[in-house]
Amino acid sequence: MKTIGITDDAAEYALVVWARHVPDGVELGRPLVATRDQHDAVQLVTDLACWWVDAAQASRLLPLGDGRAELTTWRHGHEHSRTIGATTG
């Protein structure tokens, strides 16, 4: 996995936290790039989706391929919220 503006240790920690929040059976994708966003969460781009991970939760933005995307958030192994909407642009 390529890291941008983040240490390999921080990226590894994000993967551990990611696994803590997202339950078994949810497809994660293969991590490609990790970086930090403006809120100090780790952003992981996989071959499936874009993820934001911090100590409190993991969120996934998943393109649905029909001009819509799904944003799902998990906390401690349970789905907390799910929103599907149209993408812009």
- The pLDDT of residue 12 is 84
Taking a C-beta distance cutoff of 8 angstroms, is the pair 33, 2 a contact? yes
Sorted by sequence, the CB contacts under 8 Å of residue 5 that are 6+ apart come out as: 35, 36
The SS3 call for residue 84 is strand
- The pLDDT of residue 66 is 87
The pLDDT tens digits for 39-68 are 878 898 999 999 999 889 999 999 998 899
Domain edges within the chain: 2-86
Kindly state the percentage of the chain with pLDDT values over 90.
46
